Amino acid sequence: MNKNIQDESNSIPFQGLGVNSPLGAGGRREDLKFLPISINVTNKKILLIGGGKVATHKGTIMARFVTNVTVIAPEFTDEILKLPYTFIQKEYKKSDLEGFFLVYVCTGDHDLNARIKADSEELGILTSVCDAPLLCDFVSPAIHKAGHVTISVGSNARDVYKSVDIRNQIKELIDNGTIRI
């Protein structure tokens, strides 16, 4: 089965889509429902696939919470290499997924992203494909972290800029003492 899925301005060819994916049921972005939860990743392995600008941004955010991340990519930005992760310089293979609990996909190659999502789904691994919410099992909210308190704002993958704006407003209220945490 080969489908072309419209997500933002991108046409994402996706083969081998499973029934658990929102796309497998003919879903649309408006149909997505995300549960706002915090996931315990203590002693669990996280894989970040990609080494460019988007992967660097995602990895930088994740570094505030975890260090048990392996990054696989054929090339890395200088900035991502400063993060406290394990780096493996190579092209992606399905076997790279073995043993991982969560996968973040940030390659910039829509065909490769879709293939990684299909491989992850087949192995039962939760996956977030950056900039393609229709392919995501989970999405990352806009976050403010102060000590052990984390405040997150999500938009069900519809409007990341609005989520960031609201998060920034909350941060300002905390910073000026209106809200105390």
Tally Cβ neighbours within 10 Å of residue 34: 15
- Those residues whose C-beta lies under 8 Å from the C-beta of residue 46, and which sit 6 or more positions away, are 62, 66, 68, 69, 70, 100, 101, 102, 103, 104
pLDDT of residue 8: 42
For the ranges 15-24, 124-133, 166-175, the lowest mean pLDDT is seen at: 15-24
Residue 128 pLDDT > 90, yes or no?
Answer: yes
Strand, helix or coil for residue 57: helix
Closest among 77, 59, 76 to 68, alpha carbons compared: 59
Residue 20 pLDDT > 80, yes or no?
Answer: no
Residue 89 pLDDT > 50, yes or no?
Answer: yes
pLDDT of residue 1: 36
Strand, helix or coil for residue 87: strand
157: left (phi over 0), alpha (psi -120 to 50) or beta: left
